[in-house]
């Protein structure tokens, strides 16, 4: 049996080392989580956590590689940081916010739908709409917290945004 030469061994091991290093550096963000308002949210692959400069968001997530499937952004804002005197959203307050959101967005969106979704074990009262004929938006008040969850971007990424919302624990 013929033994491999050192060139063959190096030729085989070198690509493995490169791939291993890439996976260790996690450039495509496998198994990420984000913390907000005392809750943890799972972040899907190809979404990255950005610093929210110029936005009042507590968390800003952007979709990486937007050229392939359109862009997307998720903002999660903890209103407790902005108004500590307010109490967590009640069901009635979340309903009032949803009505106000629908009224405010009525001129700039179409196909508005009121949705009752889940943010982990908590109810999330949401408004879903089409923006500029091709984009999607999802705005939710999470009952029992002071968190506001918002998605805007390509319809291709709305399922990932809904998964993030559902994962809030």
Q: What is the DSSP string of 43-86?
A: E-TTEEEE--TTS--SEEEEES-HHHH--EEEEEEEGGGT-TTS
Q: What is the pLDDT at residue 5?
A: 75
Q: What is the pLDDT of residue 132?
A: 86
Nearest 10 degrees: CA dihedral of 117, 121, 122, 123? 30
Answer whether 0.85 is exceeded by the pTM. no
Of 112, 124, 114, the C-alpha closest to 166 is 124
Do 77 and 60 contact (CB within 8 A), yes or no? no
Report the greatest alpha carbon distance in the chain: 78
Q: Are strands 39-43 and 109-119 parallel, antiparallel or unpaired?
A: unpaired
For residue 64, the Cα-to-chain-centroid distance in whole angstroms is 12
Q: Each residue of 49-69: pLDDT tens digit?
A: 887 666 555 888 888 776 666
| Spans of the chain below 70 pLDDT | 1, 9-10, 14, 17-30, 52-57, 66-69, 81-85
Query: What are the Cα distances from residue 129, in Å, to 22, 62, 149, 164?
Result: 38, 19, 14, 18
Structure tokens at 166: 């559902």
Read off the tokens for 40.
């943890």
What local confidence, expressed as pLDDT, does residue 97 receive?
Answer: 93
- Model pLDDT, residue 155: 92
pLDDT of residue 106: 86
What pLDDT, on the 0 to 100 scale, is given for residue 133? 85
The whole-number pLDDT of residue 102 equals 93
What domains lie within the chain, and their CATH numbers?
31-167 (3.40.1000.10)
């Amino acid at each position: 049996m013929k033994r491999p030469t050192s060139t063959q061994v190096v030729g085989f091991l070198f690509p493995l080392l490169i791939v291993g290093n890439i996976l260790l550096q996690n450039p495509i963000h496998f198994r990420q989580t984000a913390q907000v308002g005392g809750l943890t949210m799972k972040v899907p692959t190809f979404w990255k956590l950005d610093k929210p400069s110029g936005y009042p968001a507590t968390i800003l997530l952007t979709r990486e590689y937007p050229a392939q499937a359109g862009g997307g952004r998720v903002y999660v804002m903890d209103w407790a940081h902005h108004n500590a005197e307010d109490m967590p959203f009640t069901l009635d307050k979340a309903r009032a916010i949803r009505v106000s959101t629908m009224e405010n967005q009525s001129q700039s969106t179409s196909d508005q739908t009121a949705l009752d979704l889940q943010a982990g074990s908590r109810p999330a009262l949401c408004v879903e709409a089409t923006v500029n004929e091709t984009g999607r938006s999802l705005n939710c008040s999470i009952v029992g917290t002071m968190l506001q969850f918002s998605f805007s971007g390509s319809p291709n990424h709305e399922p990932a945004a809904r998964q993030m919302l559902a994962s809030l624990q």
